[in-house]
Structure 1
Amino acid sequence: MTGGQVVVDEPLPLGTGGRGAADAVRFLRECQSRALTVRWVPDRDALPFDTGLLHHLPPPAPRPASPGGSGASGGSGASDEAAVWRSRYAYGLFYHRRGPDFVTVMDRRDPSAAARFTLDRPAVLDAFLAVQEPTALDALDATHREAVALLADERLVLVTRGWVVALPPRLRRWPVPCTSV
């Protein structure tokens, strides 16, 4: 589906970390995968992880001004982070494509350090595919936990309070001309 819009009525539980944050990231990732526009706000102003990991996902909407307050532009660090996220967001900054026995990941979240990864080692590939769904770290065997640590070092997964979820969406609409990749 393209051209659709999703409006989330309740704040997404990113600020709590853990399973709720992993589920929220998966939701945003899947919306990105389908090129859906999402209007949402986080449950808290501060997030327990680096929001730069998420700049490829639909950013949070500005918070409405509170009565007698200054709203989202009140100068808080969290509001500044959300504004940076909104300014850096673009469709196709970070995604993966699947092949037989491998996954290729393109990461352009940081333009000065763009990277392409090929995940073809069986343990790493299996772990990446397993954490497409939010997964408790304790549910993974030692080999997959080690692979998740490698993926986390490369900023390909989000690990938060004992839960892990893959970050790059599997795009269904090509973001750039095929000759550019």
Structure 2
Amino acid sequence: MPGDRLEVSTSELSRRLAGGAGAPVLIVTGTPYEPGLDAVAGDLLWQAGVREVRIRETVGADDGLLHFLRFLREAASHGIDVVWESAGDLGCDTRLLYHLPPRAGDPSWRSAYRYGLCHYRVGPGFVTVTDQRRGPAVPITLRGTQEIRLVRNLDRPGPSEESSAFIGLVRSGLIISNGRDALCLPYRLRRWPIPCTAI
């Protein structure tokens, strides 16, 4: 049915969603790592009725890859499916991305992926991360002000640092860096999975 799908370019996506346009299946055309994707939040997608996003262009190991990974993270936070393909190697350890909607043609990623695989919760003066991407759940509690600042500031791609807190979060797989820019990988749970024992 025509009302079940909406086709929109990457550059127009944020404006169209904010204007109330939406459909269960969203088909995104144009550059998939447009920096403008940073304005698209999971809440915006969910409230517009989007439950699946199909990316027309292939994704590559481009300077804008972190912008696309943030988009995947935002969709994953609400359990929104994203159908996408990569043009080859993404230039990073893809096991760190197994909590994000898998790319087409990657059976390892698809079999490992599930909602809530790597997420965080915020408390007064701490952030608790639950990470199951590489095995059993490993809860990590961040109490350092620098670590908490990085988690908040790198919600969107931002500059990499040489601080010990930054290096520690990269080594633990909670931040991904391309050398110049970085992004926080865990997402906040926006819905409770069923069964709740899944996380």
TM-score class, shorter: 0.7 to 0.9
Q: Deviations over 1:131-175 (max 9, x none)?
A: 1110122xx5x5xx3321110111101111311000011110123
* Aligned residue among 79, 84, 88 for 1:35: 79
Match of 2:190 among 172, 176, 179: 172
What's the Cα RMSD here?
2.0
Gaps in structure 2 of 5+ consecutive residues:
1-45
In the superposition, relative to structure 1, how do residues 179 and 57 fare at CA in structure 2: closer, same or farther (>3 Å)? closer
2:98 is aligned, of 55, 58, 65, to: 55
1:7 matches 2:54 = yes
Query: How far 1:10 sits from its partner (Å)?
Result: 1.8
Structure 1: unaligned runs, 5 residues or longer: 63-81
Q: Percent identity?
A: 36
Matches within 5 A, 1:18-167: 18=63, 20-42=64-86, 44-62=87-105, 82-112=106-136, 114-137=137-160, 145-167=163-185
Q: Shift of residue 37 of structure 1?
A: 0.7
Structure 2 letter corresponding to 1:97: R
So what's the TM-score if we normalise by structure 1? 0.76
TM-score normalised according to structure 2 size: 0.70
Tell me the alpha carbon deviations over residues 4-29 of structure 1, each in whole angstroms, 9 at most, x when there is no partner.
1111122234x22x4x1110110000
Structure with more contact order per residue of length (Cα contacts < 8 Å, sep ≥ 6): 1
**TM-fit CA distance, 1:100:** 1.7
Contact 1:6–1:38, Cα closer than 8 Å, also in 2: yes
Task: Quote the residue 2:5 is aligned against.
Answer: none
Residue 29 of structure 1 aligns with an amino acid whose one-letter code is R
Q: In structure 1, what is the equivalent of residue 30 of structure 2?
A: none
Q: Give CA deviations for 1:42-73 in whole Å, capped at 9, x if unaligned.
A: 2x2112110000011000123xxxxxxxxxxx
